Amino acid sequence: MTNVMLNGGQYKKDTIIRMSLPEVRERLENLLTVTDEMIASSDKLQSTRLKTLTLSAQLKQQINELEEIVDKTENDLVSLNKNCKSQHGCRYSEY
């Protein structure tokens, strides 16, 4: 609608005459500029949001994998310590 007001033309079956008042034209042009900037900013924010969600999901997956590795390592250490005690009488055990 703003472009039609600036340049003239058809809008919803109505003929709009080109806006000739300089201060109104300037305001309309500023409005178009701000709208374009807002659209670009919105696109950038949405892109950043999607990247953040993706990274968050990846981080959560990596944390889960690390927790599994820690649990398995802890279980392996307990098992090795028990075997060491039973077979060799190891002295340096904390488990």
Where in the chain are the domains? 2-88
Q: What is the pTM of this model?
A: 0.54
* Interatomic CA distance for residues 49 and 46, integer angstroms: 5
Say what the pLDDT of residue 15 is: 77
| Cα–Cα separations (whole angstroms), residue 27 to 7, 19, 32, 39, 76 | 14, 11, 9, 18, 72
Residue 90: pLDDT over 80: no
Residue 37: pLDDT over 90: yes
Q: Where are the extended beta strands (E) located within 1-95? A: 9-11, 14-16
Token duo for residue 81: 């310590």
* pLDDT tens-digit map of 9-31: 777 887 777 778 888 888 888 98
Locate tokens 């488990």: which residue? 95
